[in-house]
Chain A
Amino acid sequence: MKYKSILDLIGHTPLVEVRSLSPADNVRMWVKLEGQNPTGSVKDRIALALIEDGEATGALTKDKTILEPTSGNTGIAIAMVAKLKGYRFTAVMPDNASHERVSLLHAYGADIIYSPGAEGTNGSVAMATELAKDKGYYMPFQYGNEANVRAHYEGTGPEILEDLPDVKAFVAGLGTGGTLTGVGRRLKEHDPNIKVFAAEPELGELVYGLRSLEDGYIPPIFDPTVLDGKVKVKARESIVWTKALMQKEGIFAGISAGATIWVAQRVAERLAKDGGGDVVCLLPDGGWKYLSTEAWTQELDVAEEQVEDVLWW
């Protein structure tokens, strides 16, 4: 297959059945492999959409440096798109992001400004918002930019419906809320009975510990009315199911994939009592960027500790 640019490979990701992970005979579970995007995550979709939106509105010009708060994947995706389009890029990222994320950002030529790891992504958002007051920066702001939602409403959602017009439930992780809001809206327009569930990380005590309630954050683009439920998942459960994905289905996915699988199984158990059908679970990235956590090779207790020390969401 021939392509004119790596950007043409964004989206149209494969949907793979994971038969062994379904808890019931009348429920078929499918995973959408977003790790197949060029930089290895779902964020390629929104990076392209955010930058092209900035170009279209005239807010992004060649004299500006793109600035974005990110836990890693969005930064890596923007770094790639910015490189190809000729923009400078600075990522604002928590200092406990995995080594692979830092290396990839540097490889694509991005600069990194670190925010305190203990403040999580919320800390990066606050720091980037302050820095973006400098007019030399253009901040696409994935948490507040409708182009994020649109990329999923026009891309990810229709792809799922094309493959599975009778899909009964969709599960994805809650980060910016872009995937759930965009895909959720599109699916519910197609069939209001489709259930949309969010998986949410229960982060380590450290990340919550130093925060006051005033530091809480809900991304402006997230529309909670598209959700039928939200389930929190611990790092330990995410690791268990991320390993199961590899050992039972040969799928090497990032740590948060396990969290969505765990939630999808709860959803599948309910669906099984309600006539069964297809459940789609979006796996946001591949496992490569998490290898240094040794999540796949260590004892569970050790792996849990390693993962909780890095940003896995």
Chain B
Amino acid sequence: MASDGSVKVKIPTVFRRFTGNEAEIDLAPGTIGQLIDQLDERYPGFKGQIMNDEGELHRFVNVYVNDEDARYLEKLETQANEGDRVALLPSVAGG
């Protein structure tokens, strides 16, 4: 658990050109929606890259809180608390 009060957000390679190549960003705790707003404030335009015009996550973007896909939790309302790990990843297939 982090002790600095932050939530660690992992950024995949495909989005790092929007974050000045930062791979992990510390943000204040909040809902996934609030975390994305914080990212957009810090890196203007970031939100438009991972969300559609309806304000939903792009269908090929998955957001995980402690490894669990937020789509199956409370979606953008899913809470990330101090010490939680958040990751953004593109969707992949297998088989």
Report yes or no: B12 in contact with A230, Cβ–Cβ below 8 A: no
B12, B59, B71: the one contacting A208 at CB < 8 Å is B12
Inter-chain contact A209/B13, CB cutoff 8 Å: yes
Chain A residue contacts of B67, Cβ below 8 A = 231-233
Q: Beyond A213-B49, A232-B87, is A219–B93 a contact (Cβ under 8 Å)? A: yes
Instruction: Indicate if the CB atoms of A216 and B90 lie closer than 8 Å.
Output: yes
**How many residues on the A side are at the interface (Cβ–Cβ under 8 A)?**
44
CB under 8 Å from chain B, chain A span 128-142: 142
In the complex, number of A-B residue pairs with CB atoms less than 8 Å apart: 99
B71 touches A224 (CB 8 A): yes
* Interface-side segment among A23-31, A32-40, A68-76, A184-192: A68-76
Whether A232 pairs with B95 at a CB distance below 8 angstroms is no
Q: Which residue of A lies closest to B10 (CB)?
A: A202
| Tally of B interface residues using CB under 8 Å | 25
Alpha-carbon distance A130/B14, docked complex (angstroms): 24
Complex contact A217–B93 (CB within 8 A) = yes
Q: Of A173, A202, A218, which contacts B59 at CB under 8 A?
A: A218
- Interface residues of chain A: helix, strand, loop or mixed (majority): mixed
B60–A216 contact, CB under 8 A?
yes
Which chain B residues lie closer than 8 Å to A121 at the CB level?
Answer: 92-95
For B49, the chain A residues whose CB sits under 8 A away are 213
| Least CB distance, A184 to chain B, in whole angstroms | 13
Query: Which residues of B, 47-84, contact A by the 8 Å Cβ criterion?
Result: 49-50, 58-62, 64, 67-69, 71-73
- Using a CB-CB cutoff of 8 Å, which residues 167-192 of chain A contact chain B? 173-176, 178
Q: Report chain A residues within 8 Å CB of B60.
A: 213-214, 216-218
* 24 A-B interface contacts by CB (under 8 A): A71-B94, A73-B95, A175-B95, A178-B95, A200-B69, A201-B92, A202-B87, A207-B92, A208-B90, A209-B13, A209-B14, A211-B14, A211-B90, A212-B14, A213-B14, A213-B58, A217-B93, A219-B95, A224-B71, A229-B69, A229-B73, A232-B64, A232-B69, A313-B92
